[in-house]
Amino acid sequence: MTRPGAVVIVGESIAGLTAARELRARGYDGTITMVGREPEGAYARPPLSKDVLRDAAAEPGLAYPCADLDLQHVRSPAVALDCPARTVTTEDGRAVSYDALLVATGAAARRLAAPGQRGELVLRTLADARAIRERMDLAASVVVVGAGFLGMEVASAAVARGMEVTVIDTEPPLRRLLGPYLSGRLAARAAAAGVRTHQVAGPVGLVGDPVDGVALPDGRTLTADLVVTCAGDVPAVDWLSGTPLANPAGIAIDERCSTSLPGVFAAGDVARLGPPSDRGTGRTPFWSSAVAQGKVAAASMLGQESPLLPIDDYFWTEVLGLSVKVAGPLPPDGGPTSVEGDVDAGDALLRWDRPGLPTTVVAFGRKVPVGRLRAIARDGDTTTEEKP
Amino acid sequence: MRVHVDYDRCEGHGLCTEQAPRLFSLDDDAELTYHAEGSDVPADQQALARAAIASCPVAVLRESS
């Protein structure tokens, strides 16, 4: 592919912004148009479920600077893609032409409300986080639907704010993502902090209009001042309807972040590398993978090779004030093969070493640089620590 | 340009050290050191500094003039 005359990036996500920066770093000096739906532009999303829920003062620090990148901004949602004409149409009626297009529209929260039922709270955007925080200012109790990492981060913020917290899921907290050992440890930590967890046998529903409770499969209803749905995410492909990319399981990409359409690439939470797996969706909707895919996609848009793989299995979360950082495949099965430090005290380095396979390594409340975690996961060897 | 680091909010992920290893480093306890504190970023490091700013998952690095 020759150098594109015009690059369009749909989605002011970390994948989209990383791609823009990588295009400039690779010397591309043509037009880059960023199409975004949020008035704030690009900002850091990981703090939304942590600092931002606790304190409005965290908001001003979130914006990512991009003035040095000479970007054209269109702040209106993309509503259609015309592949033969190579244009993206936005809600405010603009038709933006591209030679190379990156779809980085991320994912939307999966919702549980019935059609027409108002007041469901979810957490994907700054506006969502602000709405939850403002409700928390007035609330004494919260029910969180979903005990994945987002649900447990919301629960943690609510505990820090002195609220009474109940978490509902069909599985123990963080079990799907982090496996039985870490799930058990973190569930115990949550219980000690006063979080009540309800393991339910099947899907729950929301009650009230506006929503003020959760209907459990056994017929009981839990009510609270606040109900927050943290029930997973769905790739934001609705605007691509009528194209082969509008797959609700995510846009299939190859290792160059190419899609099935010429000149169209995808990166981040909207994308799926490989077929849907048995266990999950085949997506890796984590921050570090979005960054890796943004970089690879930028190289591919320029017809260049990237030395990187479009995956990065560094992941972190924060549970009741304890930071958990992971490198390597998830979820680790069984217990760790080695423990350095004190797990009960929240200061340990845990390893799952398996012959012939990448190591999973977890910094459990211990500060360990990501470079060292990645080196352990890659080499299974603590002695080859990466030094700058 | 200068870089302002909000050390209170730094979580020690260390992604900045991968982008700009001559400007940022982490010690064994993942405490961040910024090596151009109080001075201008050298001209040949500015693009890397901006990449480091953009790499921070919790946005604790800021460009200042």
Mutate to test the interface with B, among A370, A372, A383, A387 (most CBs of B within 10 A): A370
Whole-angstrom Cα distance, residue A43 to residue A20? Answer: 14
Interface contact B59-A44, CB threshold 8 A: yes
- Give the pLDDT confidence score for residue A383 in this predicted structure: 47
Residue that wins the pLDDT comparison between A109 and A383: A109
3-state secondary structure of A321: coil
Nearest chain B alpha carbon to A48? B58
- Give the pLDDT confidence score for residue A380 in this predicted structure: 74
Residue A215: is its pLDDT beyond 60?
yes
The share of chain A scoring above pLDDT 90, in percent, equals: 84
Which distant-in-sequence residues (6+ apart) come within 8 Å of A194 by Cβ? A159, A164, A165
Per-position b or e across A136-149, b if 16+ CB within 10 A of its CB:
beebeebbbbbbbb
Where in chain B are the domains?
2-64
Q: pLDDT tens-digit profile of A307-319?
A: 888 888 899 999 9
Nearest chain A alpha carbon to B1? A68
Rg of chain A taking only CA atoms, in angstroms: 21
Q: pLDDT-derived band of residue A278, with 50, 70 and 90 as boundaries?
A: very low
Residue A44: is its pLDDT beyond 90?
yes
Question: Whole-prediction pTM value?
Answer: 0.93
- Give the pLDDT confidence score for residue A258 in this predicted structure: 96
**Angle separating helix axes A14-25 and A287-301, nearest 10 degrees:** 40
Residue A269: is its pLDDT beyond 90?
yes
Q: CATH topology for A111-229?
A: FAD/NAD(P)-binding domain (3.50.50)
Whole-angstrom Cα distance, residue A31 to residue A123? Answer: 33
**How high is the mean pLDDT of chain A?**
93
Q: Which residues pair with A319 in a beta bridge?
A: A322
Q: Which residues pair with A33 in a beta bridge?
A: A8, A72
On the 0-12 / 13-18 / 19+ scale of CB atoms within 10 A, A345 is exposed
The share of chain B scoring above pLDDT 90, in percent, equals: 58
Whole-angstrom Cα distance, residue A184 to residue A179? Answer: 9
Of A43, A68, A370, which has the smallest distance from its Cβ to B14's Cβ? Answer: A370
Q: E-assigned strands of A70-225?
A: 72-75, 78-82, 87-90, 95-97, 100-103, 107-109, 141-145, 164-169, 196-199, 205-207, 213-215, 221-223
Residue that wins the pLDDT comparison between A380 and A238: A238
Mutate to test the interface with B, among A18, A52, A64 (most CBs of B within 10 A): A64
CATH architecture of B2-64: 2-Layer Sandwich (3.30)
Query: Considering only CA atoms, which of A169, A145, A165, A148 is closest in space to residue A157?
Result: A165
Q: What average pLDDT does the segment A215-222 reach?
A: 96
B9 touches chain A (CB under 8 A): yes
Question: Residue length, chain B?
Answer: 65
Q: pLDDT-derived band of residue B55, with 50, 70 and 90 as boundaries?
A: confident
CATH class of A6-108+233-301: alpha beta
Q: What average pLDDT does the segment B27-44 reach?
A: 91
Interface contact A65-B50, CB threshold 8 A: yes
Residue B20: is its pLDDT beyond 90?
yes
- Give the pLDDT confidence score for residue A382 in this predicted structure: 46
- Give the pLDDT confidence score for residue A347 in this predicted structure: 96
A44 touches chain B (CB under 8 A): yes
3-state secondary structure of A376: helix
Q: pLDDT-derived band of residue A107, with 50, 70 and 90 as boundaries?
A: very high
CA angle, residues A208, A213, A218, in degrees to nearest 5: 110
Residue A341: is its pLDDT beyond 90?
yes
Interface contact A369-B12, CB threshold 8 A: yes
Residue A279: is its pLDDT beyond 50?
no
B13 touches chain A (CB under 8 A): yes
Of B12, B15, B57, which has the smallest distance from its Cβ to A367's Cβ? Answer: B12
Q: pLDDT tens-digit profile of A347-365?
A: 999 999 988 888 999 999 9
Residue A135: is its pLDDT beyond 50?
yes
Which distant-in-sequence residues (6+ apart) come within 8 Å of A379 by Cβ? none
Residue A387: is its pLDDT beyond 80?
no
Shortest distance, CA B4 to any CA of chain A (angstroms): 11
Whole-angstrom Cα distance, residue B35 to residue A182? Answer: 36
Q: Which residues of chain B are within 8 Å of residue A321 when distances are taken between CB atoms? A: none
Query: Considering only CA atoms, which of A203, A196, A186 is closest in space to residue A224?
Result: A196
Instruction: Examine residue A388 and say whether the peptide bond preceding it is cis (omega within 30 degrees of 0).
Output: no
Q: Which residues of chain A are within 8 Å of residue B26 when distances are taken between CB atoms? A: 369, 371
Side-chain half-sphere exposure of A255, counting CA atoms within 13 A: 5
Reported ipTM: 0.88
Specify the domain boundaries for CATH 3.50.50.60 within chain A: 6-108+233-301, 111-229
Which residue is it, tokens 């029910």? A143
